[in-house]
Amino acid sequence: MKLQLALDRLTKEECTDILKETQSAIDFIEVGTGVIKEYGTSIIKEMKQSYPKHIIVADMKTCDAGKAEAVQAFEAGADITTVMAFAHDATIRDMVEVAKSYQKRVMVDLLGVDSKERIHELKELGVDLVSLHIGKDMQGDGKVATAELFSLLEEVRAEMEVSVAGGINEESLPQFLQHSPDILIVGSAITKADDKASVAQKMKEMILT
């Protein structure tokens, strides 16, 4: 299982400082949507130059113009770019094709999806990496029905890699680990912690044991 650190709602300087502290504990670096909106795709390029051995995820959250946005992300050095599951099939198909041509990957963000039918459609479009996502504005009291969340993918689990995101912290982590996701995405629990390095390290150890 891999640990992906989501860099959201942060300045470039904060991203740089946080990565210096946490880089040894994390596998994937997610350049958050807001960070890309603030600084443009040049920040993806800077992250890849600084951390060439890490997988760089550009959280583009594309919903249209898939070909152009996938090219933008991969040309900037992203290893993975994201697209929303509700995007048109053509958008997703184009992004999967572009990713293949760059030998990179597309992660489909399942925010708001509750139909297994859409999951099967994504599989037919060539999608092999999805993200179960409890949105920032949906996190409420932090209590998540993880069994219900993961059940969306029970019929395709053998064919798709699964990541999960949304308010995961040290306390709620064991609940998510029961479902053995391939990638665990953590943002604020690390980026807002006083001792970011030790929280990242602790979470890394928890997912490896």
Residue 155 vs 195, nearer CB to ligand 5RP: 195
The pair of structure tokens assigned to 184 is 């665990």
Q: How far apart are CA 104 and CA 101, in angstroms?
A: 8
Stretch binding ligand 5RP (CB under 6 A), from 84-92, 97-105, 115-123, 162-170: 162-170
The one among 66, 77, 167, 181 contacting ligand 5RP by CB under 6 A: 167
Helices (H), the chain: 12-22, 33-39, 42-50, 66-75, 89-102, 116-124, 146-151, 173-177, 188-191, 196-208
Is residue 181 involved in binding ligand 5RP (CB under 6 A)? no
Q: Which of 58, 26, 62 lies closest to 43 in space, CA to CA? A: 58
Is residue 107 involved in binding ligand 5RP (CB under 6 A)? no
Is residue 168 involved in binding ligand 5RP (CB under 6 A)? yes
Rounded least distance, CB 186 to ligand 5RP, Å: 5
Query: Cα 169 to chain center, whole Å?
Result: 15
Residues in the chain: 209
Stretch binding ligand 5RP (CB under 6 A), from 35-43, 117-125, 175-183, 186-194: 186-194
The pair of structure tokens assigned to 26 is 């994390």
The pair of structure tokens assigned to 56 is 């760089």
Residue pair 127/103 in contact by the 8 Å Cβ criterion: no
The one among 50, 172, 175, 188 contacting ligand 5RP by CB under 6 A: 188
Residue 181 vs 187, nearer CB to ligand 5RP: 187
The residue with its CB nearest to ligand 5RP is 187
Is residue 186 involved in binding ligand 5RP (CB under 6 A)? yes
Residues that bind ligand 5RP (CB under 6 A): 6, 8, 30, 32, 59, 136, 165-168, 185-189
